[in-house]
């Protein structure tokens, strides 16, 4: 059930801050997404995609569901490749399609 709304020219009407933060539409919902160059707080986070550490200074993606406050408990810190691959490795596998012998 892919939605096909092409709104290429309708991007980020009013940036709230100078952050690289935006709401992105994905198959699993809308997410606030912020791409950060690296944590300045020196904290290490746990990437939910690969269950490895996101070390301080690693460029990564901070995401939380649209409609929720940007509280720490909602935020997830992802490695950039893990964030982009998460829908591909999700629970919806394409097994069962194709020929079986």
Site residues (vs Zn ion, CB under 5 A): 47, 49-50, 79, 82
Q: How many CB atoms lie within 10 A of CB 91?
A: 4
CB of 61 to Zn ion, least distance (A): 10
Asked whether the beta carbons of 85 and 61 are under 8 A apart, the reply is no
Q: What would you report as the CA-atom Rg of the chain, rounded to the nearest whole angstrom?
A: 16
> Of the two residues 33 and 47, which places its CB atom closer to Zn ion in the complex?
47
CA 33, CA 27: separation in Å to the nearest integer?
14
CB of 76 to Zn ion, least distance (A): 10
> Of the two residues 47 and 62, which places its CB atom closer to Zn ion in the complex?
47
> Of the two residues 32 and 60, which places its CB atom closer to Zn ion in the complex?
60
How many residues appear in the chain?
101
CB of 43 to Zn ion, least distance (A): 16
């Amino acid at each position: 059930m892919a939605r096909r709304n092409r709104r290429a020219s309708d991007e980020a009407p009013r940036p709230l801050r100078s952050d690289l933060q935006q709401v992105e539409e994905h198959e699993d919902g809308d997410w606030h997404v912020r791409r950060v160059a690296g944590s300045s707080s020196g904290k290490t986070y746990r990437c939910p995609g690969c269950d490895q550490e996101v070390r301080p200074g690693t460029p990564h993606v901070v995401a939380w569901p649209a409609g929720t406050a940007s509280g720490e408990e909602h935020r997830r810190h992802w490695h950039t490749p893990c964030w982009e691959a998460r829908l591909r490795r999700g629970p919806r596998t394409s097994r069962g399609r194709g020929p079986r012998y």
